[in-house]
Chains A and B, each alone.
Chain A
Amino acid sequence: MTSSRAAWIFAWTLLAPAILYVLVIVAWPLVETFRLSFTDASLRKVTNYVGTANYEKIFNETFLGVIWRTFTWTFFSVALKMIIGTFGAVLLNAAVPGRHLFRILTMPPWIVPMAIGIFMWGWMYNGQFGMISGLLQRFGLTDGPVAFLAYGETAYWATIVTDVWIGVPMVTIYFLAAIQAIPKDLYEAAWADGASRWTRFRRITLPLMMPAVITMSMLSLIATFNSFDIIWILTQGGPSGSTTTMIIDTYHTAIGSKKYGEGAARAVVICIFLSLFCLAYFRVTRKLQNLGGKE
């Protein structure tokens, strides 16, 4: 009995530093964001409680537009990551010479400091001298130079493409691991029955990698929803708000204009969405485990 009590103390002592750290750096700021959202906090010394004034102020058409844009931006980005990731994983799984090298070559966008990869995209999107506009012109696909980051529509898609570029390597490697975990005898049995490669992919690979796709799309959804660096470096939310997602909007309000209270209210709205995603994620992974689709 004493030993189990000693073990209890020991276990919680081991956990205490990490718990404390996360409480101070993550949990307390979360609570504090909530509190600040009901104040008029700014650079001034005095802070007053203003009730729900911040929320009343921010809920207008512009903010609803920002929320809608955040969702569509996130949706397109995650969908493209999943499609390209599946495509890449299936190709890298093929038993062809060079596959080990190809797997290493997928990793740079993920490992290199994000900001630096984004600088390179910034140049590629340059209208007059950049690679994409240059190649489009050379092949006669556009009449003149296209300054991708100067127009709302193209900037929106340009930031999505860069986000996809950063996310694809991890998704691909994760899907590849999932594909390789599928028992080989399933393929052999299907092959012996005369199933074509396409049938084997559709009837074995795709259904058995589904749990991994679902898990990854939830994780990717959360990460993409939080995406800051790409948009900030490429457009800072512009031109005229066409790439302003909720995170960028909050940053402009809180750090740019120093309206901490109003910024906090905007951050709380993000937190509510994130909590919902988080709950959905836990529920989905639990369901997958119950189905026996562990890992």
Chain B
Amino acid sequence: MALFHDRNTPMIDRYRWWEVIAIYAGIFVFLFFLLAPFIEGFLVSLKPLAELFSTPYSFWPENGSFTAYVTMWERVPGFAWYVFNSFLISTVSTLIVLLLVVPAAYAFARFDFRGMGLVLGGFLAVSMFSGAVLLIPLFRLMRSLGMLNTYWAMIIPGAAFLIPSAIWLLRTYMMRIPNELNEAAWTDGASQFYTFRRVVLPIASPGIIVVAIVTFIGAYSQQFIFALTFNSKTEYMPLPIGLYAFFGKQDVVWNELMAAAFVGIAPAMVIIFFLQRYLVGGLTAGAVK
């Protein structure tokens, strides 16, 4: 199978023809499992309802059209708001997380005072408890602060659970900044805070951007339980909850629901496409150790 080989392909990476077929077949099965719901969801969004609710099942739409993408806006009147709310909640959560995490990650990366190891372990332990377990006190806390049915009820608890991996990721990044820079600034008479703001932050900004992206994606993809439990106002609902209300109805208009889902996830897809290089490194580093 000389097809994929040129003189630069190392001998060890050369496959026999049946190996190439086996690899592609395996990848096909693997990707089919991961992408089938999206393929099916997309085809459903193209099918008229009458065709959807007919047997026997047909995979390809016979009279496919994008009608559902137009009618969906009437069926889900709050749709644009849901998308806006999702973005607003994720953006504010990301800002809160960055404000807390950037200084903390720097402290963990640069200083090693007694007790800091314990605190770092404590942060890691936080990520082990989900919001679902702590829902009762959080619900009572939000109620007594008068935050139920506001954006804050979805932002404040959610942000706490995004902190641990963000600290971990940024700390790893900041540990790579050479300490000589701090020492040089120190000799020049710069204060600790000045050094942090004017020397460290600019150098760490690529790392901060990665953490911001990863945190935003986390905030965007995990909006469910707090929004389900702490908010009942339609105008504040993020996309998943807005569509969930629609999903729960007796006769689900599946083609429009799928069309709405696709319009709603389009921004996330665009982000993956442009930022996938950062994402692969960022998301995995967040989970390491």
List residues of chain A with CB under 8 Å of any chain B CB. 6-8, 10-15, 17-19, 21-22, 25-26, 28-30, 32-33, 36, 84, 87-88, 91-92, 94-97, 102-117, 119-124, 128-131, 133-135, 137-138, 145, 165, 168-170, 173-174, 177, 187-188, 191, 197, 215-216, 219, 222, 226, 228-229, 232-233, 247, 250-251, 254-255, 260, 263-264, 267, 270-271, 274-275, 277-278, 281-282, 285, 289, 295
Q: Chain B's nearest CB lies how many Å from the CB of A122?
A: 7
- CB contacts under 8 Å to A, within B105-151, are 106-108, 110-111, 113, 116, 119, 121-126, 128-130, 132-141
Known: A119-B261, A129-B52, A274-B129. A107 touches B287 (CB 8 A): no
When the two chains form their complex, are residues B247 and A33 in contact, meaning their CB atoms are under 8 A apart? Answer: no
Determine the distance from Cα of A92 to Cα of B24 in the docked complex, in whole angstroms.
10
Chain B residues 136-174 with CB under 8 Å of chain A are 136-141, 156-157, 159-161, 163, 167
- Is the C-beta of B250 less than 8 angstroms from some C-beta in chain A? no
Chain B residues near A15 (CB-CB < 8 A): 103-104, 107-108, 116, 119
Chain B interface residue count: which class?
35 or more
Neighbouring A residues of B193 by C-beta, 8 Å:
10
B-side residues, CB < 8 A to A, are: 4, 9, 11-13, 15, 19-20, 23-24, 26-27, 30-31, 33-38, 40-41, 44, 52-59, 86, 99-101, 103-104, 106-108, 110-111, 113, 116, 119, 121-126, 128-130, 132-141, 156-157, 159-161, 163, 167, 192-193, 196, 217, 220-225, 228-229, 239-241, 243-244, 247, 254, 257-258, 261, 264-265, 268-269, 271-273, 276, 279-280, 283-284, 287-289
Q: A173 touching B133 by the CB < 8 A rule? A: no
Known contacts A91-B27, A109-B34, A115-B244; is-contact A33 B136 (Cβ 8 Å):
yes
Complex CA distance for A170 and B57, rounded to whole angstroms: 32
| Identity of the chain B residue whose Cβ is nearest the Cβ of A255 in the assembled complex | B229
Contact B36 A88 (CB under 8 A): no
Kindly report which residue of chain A lies nearest to residue B280, judged by CB atoms: A173
Give the docked Cα–Cα distance between A123 and B52 (Å): 11
**Chain B, Cβ-Cβ closest to A197:** B19
Asked if residues B192 and A10 are in contact (CB atoms below 8 Å), the reply is yes
The answer to whether A91 and B136 have CB atoms under 8 Å apart is no
Contacts of B217 in A (CB 8 A): 111
Would A11 and B221 count as touching, CB distance under 8 A? no
Selected from A107, A135, A170, A278, the residue in CB contact (under 8 A) with B272 is: A107
How far, in angstroms, from A117 to B239 measured CA to CA in the complex? 12
Given contacts A18-B123, A173-B280, 11 further A-B contacts (CB under 8 A): A14-B106, A14-B107, A30-B134, A92-B27, A111-B269, A123-B44, A123-B258, A177-B284, A255-B135, A277-B128, A282-B124
A89 nearest in chain B by CB position: B30
What is the bound-complex CA distance between A115 and B97, given in angstroms?
23
A-B residue pairs in contact (CB < 8 Å), sample of 10: A17-B103, A19-B104, A108-B269, A119-B258, A128-B55, A131-B36, A133-B57, A134-B56, A173-B283, A263-B136
User: From B121, which residue of chain A is reached at the shortest CB distance?
Assistant: A282
Across chains A and B, which 8 residue pairs bring their CB atoms closest together, nearest first?
A134-B57, A115-B240, A226-B130, A29-B137, A25-B160, A14-B103, A32-B137, A120-B37
Asked if B41 and A8 make an inter-chain contact with CB atoms under 8 angstroms apart, the answer reads no
CB-based nearest B residue for A253: B136
Given contacts A18-B167, A264-B136, contact A108 B38 (CB under 8 A): yes
Say yes or no: B163 contacts A21, CB within 8 Å. Answer: yes
Partner of A295, one of B38, B137, B265, B289: B289
Q: How far is the CA of A30 from the CA of B268 in the complex (A)?
A: 33
Contacts of B33 in A (CB 8 A): 84, 165, 168
**A274, B289: Cβ atoms under 8 Å?**
no
A165 touches B37 (CB 8 A): yes
Chain A residues within an 8 Å CB radius of B4? 96-97
Q: Which residues of A contact B247 (CB under 8 A)?
A: 119, 122, 233
The residue on B at minimum CB distance from A267 is: B133
Say which residue of B38, B57, B122, B264 sits within 8 Å of A137 (CB atoms). Answer: B57
For B244, list chain A residues within 8 Å (CB): 115, 119, 233
Residues on B with C-beta less than 8 A from A270 are 133
Contact assessment for A21 and B30 in the assembled complex, using a CB-CB cutoff below 8 Å: no
- Is the CB–CB distance between A112 and B104 below 8 Å? no
CB pair A113 B41 closer than 8 Å? no
Shortest Cβ distance from B147 into chain A, in angstroms?
Answer: 12
Q: CA–CA, A114 to B222, complex, Å?
A: 6
Residues of B within 8 A of A30 (CB): 129, 134
Q: How far is the CB of A281 from chain B (nearest CB, A)?
A: 8
Decide yes or no: A6 and B192 within 8 Å by CB, A87-B26, A271-B133 being known contacts.
Answer: yes
| B221 pairs with A112, CB closer than 8 A | yes
Cα distance A169–B241 in the bound complex, in angstroms: 24
Q: Bound state CA distance, A52 and B179, in angstroms?
A: 54
Q: How far is the CB of A266 from chain B (nearest CB, A)?
A: 10
